[in-house]
Structure 1
Amino acid sequence: MRVTPDLSGAQWRKSTYTGGEAGDNCVEVAHNIPHLIPVRDSKTPHTTPLTFTPHAWQTFITATRDSRH
């Protein structure tokens, strides 16, 4: 059974590294949903976001940061 989480109260934010025209080409993340990290494309905010567990999201962020060094 697949359950769709209620994201009506999601507070979406973009990275502070985006700006200008590039500000429309990024992901938005909501950190205020308990036990879930929803991620969506800023160009299509009406589509269903990807969802991650907090642990999976932190693993992704850590791997992304580590790959830049």
Structure 2
Amino acid sequence: MWLLIILFILAWFFPVLWIVFFGFIIWVIFTASSRRAKRIEPIIVKSLLSGTTIYDKSVQWASYCSYAVSTLWW
């Protein structure tokens, strides 16, 4: 987070750093979503194997995020 703020401030003075700034934001988004998916995957697999329906807020949030991202990309 601090690196993001520092890059933002430096980008005002060095326009080339905007590429680094946006690249860092994209990298953070993709790595955070993959970490979140790794945490949620066992919950989904467990519910599928047990045959129960789950109402977990993290799973619901992940599905909303993936829908939003897929809608924005296409």
TM-score higher than 0.5 here?
A: no
| Structure with higher RCO (Cα < 8 A, 6+ apart) | 1
Larger Rg: 2
TM-score normalised according to structure 2 size:
0.28
